Amino acid sequence: MKTPTATVSDFCLIQLELLKIKEARLRKDLLDCNIQREFLTQTLKALDTPVDTTDESLTNLLDQIRREKK
């Protein structure tokens, strides 16, 4: 039977490994988001569309789209 110290030590090592895996996944997700943002921004610029990503402009755009669907 393991000592309480060994049990806690094993638990901490496992948690650190899980955090390393989670951190790698988050970095990959962030990289994917940055690639998508860059692609979409460049596409809008190529279409001569102003790129305004403020919360207010996005809310207004979403409201406009919702009204058009009705």
| More reliable by pLDDT, 11 or 57 | 11
Q: What is the pLDDT of residue 52?
A: 75
The residue range of the domain holding 28 is: 4-69
Provide the sign of the torsion angle of the four alpha carbons 14, 18, 21, 27, taken in this order.
negative
Q: At 69, is the pLDDT very low, low, confident or very high (cuts 50, 70, 90)?
A: confident
* Three-state secondary-structure class, residue 68: helix
pLDDT mean over 2-26: 97
Report the share of the chain in percent with pLDDT over 90: 61
Give tens-digit pLDDT for 32-48. 999 999 999 899 999 98
Domains contained in the chain, number = 1
Asked if pLDDT for residue 1 goes beyond 90, the answer is no
